[in-house]
Amino acid sequence: MKARWFSKAIKSFAMSELEARKLKYLTTGTEALLMGVLIESTNLTAKFLRAHGITILKVRDETVKLLGKADLFFFSPEHLPLTDEAQRALDWAVDQKIKYGDGGEITTSHILLGIWSEVDSPGHKILFTLGFNDEKAKELEPSISKPGC
| 102-140: pLDDT as tens digits | 667 889 999 999 999 999 999 999 999 999 999 999 998
Number of domains in the chain: 1
pLDDT tens for 44-66 read: 999 999 999 999 999 999 999 99
Whether 103 maps to a domain, the answer reads: yes
Whether 2 maps to a domain, the answer reads: no
pTM, rounded to two decimals: 0.90
Q: Look up the CATH number of the domain holding residue 62.
A: 1.10.1780.10
CA distance 45 to 73: 34
In the prediction, which pLDDT does 135 show? 96
Whether 118 maps to a domain, the answer reads: yes
CA distance 30 to 118: 8
How sure is the predictor about 80, in pLDDT bands with cuts at 50, 70 and 90? confident
CA distance 41 to 25: 23
Whether 137 maps to a domain, the answer reads: yes
DSSP structural state of residue 83: P
In the prediction, which pLDDT does 149 show? 45
Cross-strand partners of 82:
28
Higher pLDDT, 82 or 149: 82
Domain hosting residue 62, numbered range: 7-69+80-145
Q: Across residues 74-102, what is the average pLDDT?
A: 84
Residues 6+ apart with CB under 8 A from 86: 27, 28, 29, 30, 32, 33, 121, 123
Q: If 0-12 CB within 10 Å is exposed, 13-18 middle and 19+ buried, where does residue 121 land? A: buried
HSE-CB at 128 with a 13 A cutoff on CA atoms is 13
How sure is the predictor about 84, in pLDDT bands with cuts at 50, 70 and 90? very high
pLDDT tens for 23-42 read: 888 899 999 999 999 999 88
SS3 70: coil
In the prediction, which pLDDT does 33 show? 97
Whether 90 maps to a domain, the answer reads: yes
How sure is the predictor about 148, in pLDDT bands with cuts at 50, 70 and 90? very low
